[in-house]
Structure 1
Amino acid sequence: MDNFNLNESYHLIVDKLVSWYKVLITMLPNMLLSIILLIIFYFISKLVRSLVKKGVQSFIHNLALVKLIGTLSFFIIFSIGIFISLSVLKLDKAVTSLLAGAGVVGLALSFAFQDSATNFISGVFMAVRKPFKIDDVIETADEMGIVKHINLRNVIMYSFNGQEVIIPNKDVYQNKVRNYSALAHRRIELNCGVTYDADLEKVIKVGEEAIKSLDFVSKSKETNIFFNEYGGSSINFTLYFWIETNDQPGFLKARNDALIALKKAFDKNDIGIPFPIRTLEFKPNQFNKALKSISIENSSTKENNNNDTK
């Protein structure tokens, strides 16, 4: 009985190996064809990657993005070659399973790395649009500074307080960006006020001439003073002028010098910049009542003090 089982097992194994051998011989041409297809698609993928990188470099100057696009093109073409090779081997079910598995894995990764994916996609869009470049002075996401590094995940800039600020790309892409370096000039606005008895036409003439005389003020653009309101103690105006620089230190220095020049010019021409003043107006009856109440309070206070002394 044992010999019979042993012989039967032996024949089953032999038959299985023979059947596999026959299948191998039958599939051998397809296997060779699939290997050849993989080799061909590998070289095609490399060629496509180099062509894509050369084409993309003409309008995208971000090296990391160029490499990424080239790598993606390589894997897309080579993946197509893998699926075709599996189809040649009549492994269509395996292809379907791979696609389904890739979809499930992609969905899981999209939830797990949602923020990273958002930063990455924002970085791609920013690399294409190029809203700013290295060494530009920008203001975004409540931060202002000089851009030092731009990658596919974040923007690194140095603030004017001497700090390194790292901002995720999604925060930059989803918020407004002020690029102070985009243009070669910048406008400065100064708010000030003069006394009510001042000659307003003289204020305009003196103020504009004082600012125009400064070396850093643009001569190609207008310098203007516009009055805008009657304030509590002054007639307020805004002074507008342009400077031929776009860096922050130059802006601060220009604003400082303009304030000094405007004050000197007003002092020289007897134009006053008033302190805040409040005028209290009482009607006669109300004023008399207020005095009586104050005198009554004083007298009662004195009586209390005398009683305490006794």
Structure 2
Amino acid sequence: MEAALTSLRTMTQAAIALIPSIGLALFSFVLFWFVSRWAARGVTALVRRTNRPANVGFVLSRLTQWALLALGLFVSLIIVVPSLDAAALFGALGIGGVAIGFAFKDIFQNLMAGLLILITRPFVIGDQIVTGDHEGTIEDIQVRATLMRTYDNRLVVIPNSELYTNRVIVNTARDKRRASVDVGIGYGDDVALAKRAALDALDRLPSIERDPAPSAVVTGLGDFSVNLQVRFWVGPPTRGDVVAAKDEAFIAIKDDLVRAGVDLPFPTYQLLFPSQAERSVGAMETLKEGSSD
């Protein structure tokens, strides 16, 4: 009993001796907490002045606040336990950090990719992009993933590491986008007349940009038609605007070509029954013999 009382008395005296250190440690941690809050607000204000997205300020302010709180906790531990070896503590933190890094490699990879996307801004919320098999509108850029709404109203959650390391087509990165429609005309038609009629049709459409001017080029000689490609620019370059402009262009070009007397041919097939095929082959052979004579 005497040994137990002695031990309890020693622990009590040690706890009483630590009260000033504990109070100073708590004061130090509270001070760091206030400093971290002030620093987080400063980072948010600084990011706002640089016209960066709000998500960038939120993420950077949180990282700054956590870093200062971790430093405050370390300082408080040193005050309470002066014999604490800082080198050993940092070594343990380093080993633990490596282990955590391997365990959460994908999460940290997406986190860093999200930060880089928010800072470099290859695309922003509201842009329409194409990545892999998905195309749609960016609804939100989070730290771990980016949310995309497809044109048929499905939500796609894409890890940020995929967006940062793979190819991404940003359809709305510029204020204009080129579109085209393909038209086939007959071999006996005047190509220059068909081009002029197609361009005149586009000139009446308000959704078509005048600068750069529309153009029409021959892209090939098909089995039954001369293929024309009519090119024009649309602004703004969203998917809905491009689809609507192409719809108007198809209708206007078709009406003007018919009005100008330009033929719009379609595939024609000839079916021969066996007896008709034999007569056809015989006629071809007779033609060949006549040409050889």
Q: Give the shorter-chain TM-score range.
A: 0.7 to 0.9
| Cα offset, 1:263, TM superposition | 1.7
Q: Secondary structure at the match of 1:127?
A: helix
Which residue number in structure 1 is paired with residue 113 of structure 2? 122
Length-normalised TM-score, structure 1: 0.72
CA contact (8 A) 1:206 1:266 kept: yes
Residue 70 of structure 2 corresponds to 79
* 1:174 corresponds to 2:179: no
CA contact (8 A) 2:55 2:118 kept: no
User: Structure 1, residues 26-46: CA drift from partner, whole Å, max 9, x if none?
Assistant: x78766665554444343333
Please list, as runs of the form range in 1=range in 2, the aligned pairs for 1:188-203 lying within 5 A after superposition: 188-203=179-194
1:198/1:33 CA distance change after superposition, 3 Å: same
Which residue in the other structure is 2:277 paired with? none
Aligned length: 274
Of residues 44, 54, 58 in structure 2, which corresponds to 1:53? Answer: 44
1:211 maps to 2:222? no
RMSD: 3.4
**Equivalent position of 1:105 in the other structure:** 96
Partner of 1:245: 236
Partners of 1:42 and 1:146 in 2: how far apart?
39
Q: Aligned match of 1:223 in 196, 214, 227?
A: 214
How far is the alpha carbon of 1:255 from its aligned partner?
Answer: 0.8
Segment of structure 1 superposing worse, 81-90 or 128-137: 81-90
Moved more, 10-19 or 220-229: 10-19
CA contact (8 A) 2:127 2:137 kept: yes
Match of 2:82 among 90, 94, 97: 90
Q: 1:194 corresponds to which letter in structure 2? A: I
Identity across the alignment (%): 22
> How far did residue 127 of structure 1 move?
1.3
Amino acid at match of 2:145: N
1:306 counterpart residue number: none
Q: Secondary structure at the match of 1:101?
A: helix
Q: Which residue of 1 aligns with 2:122?
A: 131
1:144 aligns with 2:135: yes
* Letter aligned with residue 196 of structure 2: K
Query: For the Cα contact (< 8 Å) 1:186–1:245, is it kept in 2?
Result: yes
Match of 2:290 in 1: none
Q: CA deviation at 1:15?
A: 8.2
1:44 aligns to 2:27 (yes or no): no
Corresponding letter in the other structure for 1:216: S
CA contact (8 A) 2:55 2:141 kept: no
Gaps (5+ residues) in structure 2?
271-280, 286-293
Contact 2:235–2:241 under 8 Å retained in 1: no
Query: 1:65–1:152: 8 Å Cα contact kept in structure 2?
Result: no
The structure that has the greater radius of gyration is 1
* Aligned-partner residue type, residue 248 of structure 2: D
1:304 aligned residue: none
- 1:185, 1:245 within 8 Å by CA — same for their partners in 2? yes
CA distance in 2, matches of 1:114, 1:75: 20
Aligned to 1:284: none
Aligned-partner SS, 2:162: helix
* CA distance in structure 2 between the aligned counterparts of 1:182 and 1:172, rounded to whole angstroms: 16
Query: What is the one-letter code of the residue matched to 1:58?
Result: R
Partner of 2:255: 264
Distance change (3 Å), C-alpha of 1:217 and 1:49: closer
Distance (whole Å) between structure 2 residues aligned to residue 128 and residue 68 of structure 1: 10
Displacement of 1:98: 3.2
Q: Distance in 2 between matches of 1:253 and 1:265?
A: 19
Whether the 8 Å CA contact 1:141–1:171 is kept in 2: the answer is no
In 2, distance between residues paired with 1:166 and 1:75? 27
SS in 1 for 2:82: coil
Question: Contact 2:59–2:143 at 8 Å: present in 1 too?
Answer: no
**Distance change in 2, residues 1:45/1:244 (3 Å):** closer
Q: Return the alpha-carbon distance in structure 1 between the equivalents of residues 215 and 113 of structure 2.
A: 41
Cα distance, 1:239 vs structure 2: 0.8
Task: Extract unaligned runs of 5+ from structure 1.
Answer: 1-5, 280-286, 292-310
Deviates more, 1:223-232 or 1:84-93: 84-93
Using the TM superposition, give the Cα deviation of residue 47 of structure 1 relative to its aligned residue in structure 2, in angstroms.
Answer: 2.9
C-alpha contact 1:232 1:278 (8 A) present in aligned 2? no
